[in-house]
């Protein structure tokens, strides 16, 4: 063990989940389909044909999950609200959908746990996708209206909000590579989706502030990655700059500098009609004040240039077909993602230096083999080592001056891992797929003990 409780920054600690990955109950209490319902039911889209229809059935078992959170001793719980439960047809408010989040939030507060709500973790109502989805500018007002409905309803009890989770995935995995919902493969549409996601963030964050009043915290969650060259060759080192633009600066420069990076604009100019897409005033709206930047970190991105002889798919994000994403070095998690806690340190210190924004790690964690013993026990020492190393990197970034506010483990429960289905397990609590019985893994006991010690150490 490398991190001790007294070394941990005195910030908020928690765990994170998202609606479609855990709730199930997809046709209950007026909920309508989201793009992920449609996509997961499309043959060949998700490994094993799995869907979020049942997921962890958290919608019906949330009290048990709240008790697990209380047992863990977390300060905060990061969850997302399902847009298609609240505005199933995109227009009329579904009171039963909001009532579920009342029960969840009230249950958290009754247990002394602070809610951190994300408005959008990828479950766009299908009806809005049918009207053009993130590709069309109209979605921006629809998102702002959804933000107002939810904030008016929960804002007296939920004071910490994020607008979007990982717009890189929504725009580039969803509209460029087509491996996430809505399964589109069109770089022009991906460029449009990216812009409208940013604009939706800006418009919704203004609405959240107006609705919530003073003292609320409004932020956004990104999944930036440190970008590293596949080799020392000059072309590979040059590839890093553009890949960094399309993974990181394409989000952070508009958000914190009210400008798209020049290299990104140059890469996109041949793909999309930017003069029509990027309208006057958009960047000022996108660069609304942000109280907290959430950082989801799993692995660095390794890139090379095709001219150096690398072959394979380009990194996600239109405009870099001449680049190749290559696997990072061992060790890797069960999804083949290189494990490298130094990447978290690099990311947090860089974001602090470049943008001077308060930061939280809103997700980190790993999928590991997780052999299950009789009775559901999982001795996941590999996950403990992962979390330990990443907490140490987090502490080091704080010591180096980054303004850190929180750390959330991904994730509470083994759940629906998008296009990968249920096979990769990220939870610190095992969920038996047949019975949905929850059993804390060794990592949950470890995190609980660390949080309890920290409570003693921090006083
Ligand atoms: O499961 C996802 C989550 O929904 C978003 N961030 C990455 C996680 C692991 O892939």
Question: Would you state the pLDDT for residue 458?
Answer: 45
Question: Would you state the pLDDT for residue 375?
Answer: 86
What residue spans define the domains of the chain?
Answer: 5-458
Q: Which of 299, 410, 425, 427 to mutate to test the pocket of ligand 1 (most atoms within 8 A of CB)?
A: 410
Q: Locate the ligand 1 atom nearest the alpha carbon of residue 363 and give its number.
A: 6
Could you tell me the fold of the domain covering 5-458? TIM Barrel (3.20.20)
Instruction: Tell me the DSSP string of 65-130.
Output: HHHHHHHHT-SEEEEE--HHHHSTTSSS--HHHHHHHHHHHHHHHHTT-EEEEEEESS--BHHHHH
Question: Would you state the pLDDT for residue 459?
Answer: 37
| Residue of minimum CA distance from atom 1 in ligand 1 | 417
Q: For residue 156, which of 198, 115, 96 has the smallest C-alpha distance?
A: 115
372 burial via Cβ count (<10 Å: 0-12, 13-18, 19+): middle
| Residue of minimum CA distance from atom 9 in ligand 1 | 417
Q: For residue 294, which of 201, 213, 181, 424 has the smallest C-alpha distance?
A: 201
Spatial neighbors of 367 by CB under 8 A, at least 6 apart, are 333, 334, 335, 337, 417, 424, 425, 426
Ligand 1 center to 421 CA (angstroms) = 12
Helix 250-257 to helix 342-355 angle (10° resolution) is: 30
8-state DSSP, 264: H
Ligand 1 center to 457 CA (angstroms) = 31
Peptide bond into 97 cis (omega under 30): no
Ligand 1 center to 438 CA (angstroms) = 20
User: 């408005």: which residue's tokens?
Assistant: 119
Q: Which of 18, 409, 423 to mutate to test the pocket of ligand 1 (most atoms within 8 A of CB)?
A: 18
Q: Locate the ligand 1 atom nearest the alpha carbon of residue 335 and give its number.
A: 10
Ligand 1 center to 15 CA (angstroms) = 13
Q: Locate the ligand 1 atom nearest the alpha carbon of residue 296 and give its number.
A: 6
Ligand 1 center to 416 CA (angstroms) = 9
| Residue of minimum CA distance from atom 2 in ligand 1 | 417
Tokens of 298: 């799993």
| Residue of minimum CA distance from atom 4 in ligand 1 | 18
Q: Which of 411, 413, 431 to mutate to test the pocket of ligand 1 (most atoms within 8 A of CB)?
A: 411
Q: Is the Cβ–Cβ distance between 109 and 115 less than 8 Å?
A: yes
Q: Locate the ligand 1 atom nearest the alpha carbon of residue 426 and give its number.
A: 9
Ligand 1 center to 16 CA (angstroms) = 10
Ligand 1 center to 366 CA (angstroms) = 10
Q: What are the tens digits of pLDDT across the range 303-348?
A: 999 999 999 999 999 999 999 999 999 999 999 999 999 999 999 9
Helix/strand/coil for 61: helix
Q: Locate the ligand 1 atom nearest the alpha carbon of residue 367 and give its number.
A: 9
Q: Locate the ligand 1 atom nearest the alpha carbon of residue 223 and give its number.
A: 6
User: Which contacts of 373-377 are long-range, i.e. CB under 8 A and separated by 24 or more positions?
Assistant: 375/439, 376/430, 376/432, 376/437, 376/439, 377/430, 377/439, 377/441
Ligand 1 center to 417 CA (angstroms) = 7
Q: Which of 223, 418, 428 to mutate to test the pocket of ligand 1 (most atoms within 8 A of CB)?
A: 418
Low-confidence ranges of the chain (pLDDT < 70): 1-2, 455-459
Rounded Cα–Cα distance for residues 360 and 348 (Å): 9
Ligand 1 center to 279 CA (angstroms) = 32
Q: Locate the ligand 1 atom nearest the alpha carbon of residue 21 and give its number.
A: 4
Decide the pairing of beta strands 217-222 and 292-296: parallel
Pocket lining for ligand 1, CB < 6 angstroms: 18, 21, 166, 296, 363, 410, 417, 426
Spatial neighbors of 300 by CB under 8 A, at least 6 apart, are 225, 226, 227, 228, 328, 338, 340, 343, 346
Spatial neighbors of 374 by CB under 8 A, at least 6 apart, are none
Catalytic residues: 166, 363
């Amino acid at each position: 063990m490398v991190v001790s409780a007294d070394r941990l920054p005195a910030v908020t600690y928690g765990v994170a989940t998202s609606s479609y990955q855990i709730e199930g109950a997809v046709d209950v209490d007026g909920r309508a389909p989201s793009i992920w319902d449609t996509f997961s039911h499309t043959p060949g889209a998700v490994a094993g044909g799995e869907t979020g229809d049942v997921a962890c059935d958290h919608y019906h078992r949330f009290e048990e999950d709240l008790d697990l959170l209380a047992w863990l001793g977390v300060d905060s719980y990061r969850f997302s609200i399902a847009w298609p439960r609240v505005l199933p047809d995109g227009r009329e408010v579904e009171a039963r959908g909001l009532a579920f989040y009342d029960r969840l939030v009230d249950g958290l507060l009754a247990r002394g746990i602070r809610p951190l709500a994300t408005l959008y973790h990828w479950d766009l109502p299908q009806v809005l996708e049918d009207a053009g989805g993130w590709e069309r500018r109209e979605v921006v007002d629809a998102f702002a209206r959804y933000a107002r409905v939810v904030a008016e309803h929960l804002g007296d009890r939920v004071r910490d909000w994020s607008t979007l989770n990982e717009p890189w995935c929504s725009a580039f995995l969803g509209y460029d590579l087509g491996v996430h919902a809505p399964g589109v493969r069109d770089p022009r549409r991906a460029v449009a989706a990216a812009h409208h996601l940013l604009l939706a963030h800006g418009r919704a964050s203004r609405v959240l502030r107006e609705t919530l009043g003073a003292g609320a915290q409004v932020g956004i969650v990104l999944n930036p990655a440190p970008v590293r060259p596949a080799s020392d060759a000059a072309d590979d080192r040059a590839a890093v700059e553009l890949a960094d633009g399309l993974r990181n600066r394409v989000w952070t420069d508009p958000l914190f500098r009210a400008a798209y990076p020049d290299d990104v604009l140059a890469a996109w100019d041949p793909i999309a009609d930017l003069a029509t897409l990027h309208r006057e005033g958009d960047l000022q709206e996108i660069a609304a004040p942000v109280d907290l930047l959430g950082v989801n970190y799993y692995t660095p991105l390794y890139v090379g240039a095709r001219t150096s002889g690398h072959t394979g798919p380009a990194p996600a994000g239109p405009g870099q077909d001449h680049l190749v994403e290559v696997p990072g070095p061992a060790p890797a998690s069960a999804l083949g993602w290189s494990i490298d806690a130094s990447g978290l340190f690099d990311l947090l210190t860089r974001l602090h230096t470049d943008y001077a924004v308060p930061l939280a790690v809103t997700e980190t964690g790993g999928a590991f083999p997780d052999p299950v013993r009789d009775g559901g026990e999982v001795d996941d020492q590999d996950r403990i080592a992962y979390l330990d190393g990443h907490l140490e990197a987090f502490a080091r970034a704080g010591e180096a001056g980054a303004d850190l506010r929180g750390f959330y483990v991904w994730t509470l429960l083994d759940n629906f891992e998008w296009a990968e289905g249920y096979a990769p397990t990220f939870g610190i609590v095992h969920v038996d797929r047949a019975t949905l019985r929850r059993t804390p893994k060794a990592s949950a006991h470890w995190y609980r003990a660390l949080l309890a010690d920290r409570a003693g150490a921090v006083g």
